[in-house]
Chains A and B, each alone.
Chain A
Amino acid sequence: MTAFLQQLLNGLSLGSIYALVALGYTMVYGVLRLINFAHGDVYMLGAFAGYYASKLLHGRLNGGLPEAAVILVVSMIACALVGMLIERLAYRPVRRASRLTLLIVAIGVSLLIENLAQIFFGADPKFFPQILPERMFEWRGVLFTNQQILVLATAVLLMAALTLFIRRTRTGKAMRAVAHNPDAARLMGINVNSIISLTFALGSALAAAGGILVSLNQPSIDPLMGLMTGIKAFVAAVLGGIGSIPGAVLGGLILGLAETFVAGYGSSTYRDAIAFFILIIILLCKPEGLLGKGQVEKV
């Protein structure tokens, strides 16, 4: 039982990172019907933004929560700008072209970011500073760290904020309208361009948060760290039903739990294959995902 709870906690903490990144996929897919291949790389940029921010801040804030919070915010803002830039420069010119064109451009953007990052940051892994010294707690035999709690709390907070924003604010409603039907939204006076821009900004900021949170736990960061996480987060989004925000969260958590339990009870060599396995099963059995709505093409 203790071991089970332990795995559950680890799985939730991993899953909440996937969920944060998956949200960006699902939001962008919602408004553009695009698998934003570069999203995983934005997550990587988030981690590096945090790395450089903490170097700049070094000595000015004495570690601890305030420094972590500042780094988180700085990195989220930086990535929001990067996300908007990507959309403006690469995706907007081909938005009206076929989905195939859009997809190829997304692959190009992803390759570009990864290779530029290798030139600028160096290809070797870097060590993310220990902002919050790790502290262990024990509760009925289950070990957890202050970082895990921070990851969970931050993730829950951000997701709650996103949900409120999308449900309650005018802008959030406009975003849903654009996802539903961009042409009708434009006729209703919604500025579709700025809504899409904002969607990228929000999604990228969440990915950046994921990048920072993951680096607190596993401090080794490198320019290709976004590849696997990006693909897995995409799987999480598809699993939950791409386009659905609660779906992305659910999918992320399920994937995190599945990976942790398989690695814990089975073999860890196949850990990375689980995501693809889940993906293939879900696409064959229920392609619209757990919480997604099926789309029927009108004839």
Chain B
Amino acid sequence: MKKILLVLAVLGGMGLLQWALTAFLLDGPVRQGPYYYQILMLAGINVILAVSLNLTNGITGQFSIGHAGFFAIGAYVAASVSVYAGPTLQGSLAGLPSFAADSVLLLVASAAGVAAAAAAGWLVGMPSLRLRGDYLAIVTLGFGEIIRVLILNIDAVGGARGFTGIPRYSNFFWVGLGVVAAISTVRHIVRSSHGRALLSIREDEIAAQAMGVAVTRHKVTAFVIGAAFAGLAGSLFGHFTMYLHTNSFTFVKSFEIIIMIALGGLGSLAGAALGAVVLTVLPELFRGFAEYRMVIYALALILIMIYRPQGLLGKGRFLGRGKDK
């Protein structure tokens, strides 16, 4: 009963916020309202990405640099569903009011994107998660790039021209729900027996195995859940920007997500969310220094790892110790 009330409260709150944002930013009195709205949306999408990557990189200690690949799969698959199957679906939903029909379409497309990203996560994770840490990093980087190159060569999704004509279905309501879902999923996992199993893998794989933790299976599970949420983020992204290009999904994007969680503190949930928001908003404040943006990112990353490896909010003792971790 309490749970149902909670869910209703979240839904209601998000709906109310959506209404308020539309009234004030999009149709309302705030100059540059749409611009702020856009930043808000991108921040939300980045929070989903950072929180989900943190499950693999921070909680399980398996360093993946291929998150942008799953983000891309989610974005392209969901967008394809909307573009190619959308009109047919729309016909069968003709009786519904437009916001309800849009929501149903977004849910269907996102479900496809999430499923595809999760499946890709499983395919990539099964073989590569057996590898030691730094090899895993480079293999995931490789898979991420392979995914991008493959998409680039598919003409039906625009290839090098980019994918246009995607309907704008996502809004603050859905991104907000995505954020809530990502955070509560990761939080519930971490604070459960499964989460302790994942943490034990991060701390000492050999000991974890000796304590009966099926290491590979748990790693793959965490990886697949992370990939699924990256897919969700991709779907929300594509249905917001209405245009996709593979340049948004290079490994620089993966690095960006890593910087977000490193800034917030590897393994810290609030840190990942904070890092994502800060790194979305900050560059907007320093628009004039756009070309220095990546320089500042990179310098910040190095300095954080040297002087505060646990990030802003993390405890991350595991980062500071031992050569062989």
Contact = CB atoms under 8 A, between A and B. Distances in A.
A and B from one assembly? yes
Interface of A: 33-35, 90, 93-94, 96-101, 103-105, 107-112, 114-116, 118-119, 231, 234-235, 238, 269, 272-273, 275-276, 279-280, 283-284, 287, 297, 299
Q: Please classify how large the interface on chain B is, using the bins under 10, 10 to 19, 20 to 34, 35 or more.
A: 35 or more
Interface in B250-271: 252, 255, 258, 262, 266
A93 B306 contact: yes
B131 interface: yes
A97 B317 CA distance: 10
A103 B135 contact: no
9 contacts: A33-B323, A90-B302, A99-B325, A100-B133, A101-B319, A111-B255, A238-B135, A280-B142, A287-B135
A115 B137 contact: no
B19 to A, nearest CB: 41
B298 A231 contact: no
B258 A112 contact: no
Contacts of B127: 280, 284
Contact of A108 (B252, B266, B298): B298
A269 B160 CA distance: 13
Which of A33, A104, A283 has most B Cβ within 10 Å?
A104
Interface string B70-111: 000000000000000000000000000000000000000000
A283 B133 contact: no
Contact of A99 (B134, B139, B143, B149): B134
B295 A101 contact: no
Which of A94, A100, A103, A118 has most B Cβ within 10 Å?
A100
Contact of B134 (A35, A93, A231): A35
A272 B149 contact: yes
Contacts of B297: 111
A115 B298 contact: yes
Given A119-B292, A272-B149, A299 B206 contact: yes
A33 B141 CA distance: 18
Nearest to A90: B302
A224 B309 CA distance: 28
